[in-house]
Amino acid sequence: MKTEIIFLGPPASGKGTQTDRLSTEFSLPHIDTGKLLRAEIEAGSEEGKIAKGFMSQGQLVPADLVSKIIIKKVMSDEARNGYILDGFPRSIEQADILEEALANAGKNNFDNRIVVKLVVDENMLLDRIINRRMCKNCNKIFSLKNYTSDICDECGGELYQRSDDNEETAKKRFDTYNEQTSPLSEYYAQKSLLKEVDGNTSPEAVYQNILNVLNN
């Protein structure tokens, strides 16, 4: 199975839902960019203060700030047998930074690498965003469509709605995705790394399709 996995896909396409499960089942570190940035905000760090302004506007946090955090994780001992990148890279600039870091570390072998893009109809995404709830404690992802309690079934933590999960910010996030992240499909297709997976079906069906592409 491929073990150096990059996930692409628009906001609410299901990246977090799928990568959480994949990480648990295959013991691969889940490098979740949005979660790491939200932790910086929560901690009140300098990086968090800068990131907050961009995230609340649905814009990308500056590449140097986010790359520093993510590259450190990719190069860590924990990721020596592989990793799942969720939310990084999100622009050609970030993809070049990642390529350079991997090449400098002697990891230029593409045999274990794959880029999975979740493809979801645009008209479903806003609905998923508005209905998403997260656990404050363990970050488990829920949808009001099939879960109505405000307590996490995993750890008993309180559920909350992300501050960028509103219609106005979501529309800006879609624009940012279309302008800056979409070109990565072509970038990785040219390297023969891109695999598209239909993200419109049930989470279970999406997961099985992801396993198929990882094993082929």
- Catalytic residue positions? 15, 90, 132, 162, 173
Question: Nearer to ligand AP5 by C-beta: 106 or 135?
Answer: 135
Cβ contact 162:132 at 8 Å: yes
Cis preceding linkage at 183, omega within 30: no
User: C-beta of 169: minimal distance to ligand AP5 in Å?
Assistant: 8
117 makes contact with ligand AP5 (CB under 6 A): no
135 makes contact with ligand AP5 (CB under 6 A): no
14 makes contact with ligand AP5 (CB under 6 A): yes
The torsion angles phi and psi of 110, rounded to 5 degrees, stand at: -90, 0
Residues 38, 41: Cα–Cα separation, whole Å: 5
Residues 120, 140: Cα–Cα separation, whole Å: 21
209 makes contact with ligand AP5 (CB under 6 A): no
17 makes contact with ligand AP5 (CB under 6 A): yes
* Residue with the CB atom nearest ligand AP5 in the bound state: 34
Instruction: Record the tokens describing residue 209, joined without a space.
Output: 């399709």
Question: Nearer to ligand AP5 by C-beta: 11 or 113?
Answer: 11
Q: Which residues are paired to 86 by β-bridges?
A: 7, 32
The torsion angles phi and psi of 148, rounded to 5 degrees, stand at: -110, -5
Residues that bind ligand AP5 (CB under 6 A): 9, 11-17, 33-34, 37, 54-55, 58-61, 66, 87-88, 90, 94, 128, 131-132, 141-143, 173, 199, 202-203, 206
